[in-house]
Amino acid sequence: MLLVNKKTQNIVDFQNRKSVHVNLTRATHSEYRKMLLDYSLSMQEVFELFARLAGEGDNRAVSILQEAYNNKRSRAIASFNDVEKRNLYDAISEMDEPV
């Protein structure tokens, strides 16, 4: 086994890792943090696992991504006014009609 000093390991980690900043609501952060503490896990460990699983196409991770997509799409549609909603539904129904 190759032994690497801490300074060298920090350089290797820096070169091999990407940093991500995530904004969460206070409530979400608080509840998430509590749950992680119950399992003695860090946010880093859980985000790393989720990212790896999603990248590998894991069904559980993909399901969460699909849920997030559907939530985002629903919020976008909900933000339309009534005229925009009717126009959107009309356009979708026209696309579904056979030629």
- The domain limits of the chain are 25-56, 58-99
Residue 11 to residue 46: CA distance in whole angstroms: 23
Give the orientation angle of helix 43-55 with respect to helix 59-78, to 10 degrees: 100
Q: Identify the pLDDT of residue 63.
A: 97
Q: Identify the pLDDT of residue 19.
A: 83
Residue 99 to residue 94: CA distance in whole angstroms: 10
Count Cβ atoms below 10 Å from residue 69 Cβ, excluding itself: 10
The answer for residues whose C-beta is within 8 angstroms of residue 26's C-beta and 6 or more apart is none
Once rounded to an integer, what is the mean pLDDT over residues 62-71? Answer: 94
Once rounded to an integer, what is the mean pLDDT over residues 68-81? Answer: 83
Count Cβ atoms below 10 Å from residue 33 Cβ, excluding itself: 13
Tokens, residue 90: 């009309």
Q: Quote the pTM value.
A: 0.62
Once rounded to an integer, what is the mean pLDDT over residues 85-90? Answer: 76
Q: Identify the pLDDT of residue 81.
A: 73
Q: Identify the pLDDT of residue 99.
A: 55
Q: Identify the pLDDT of residue 4.
A: 67
The answer for residues whose C-beta is within 8 angstroms of residue 54's C-beta and 6 or more apart is 61, 62, 64, 65
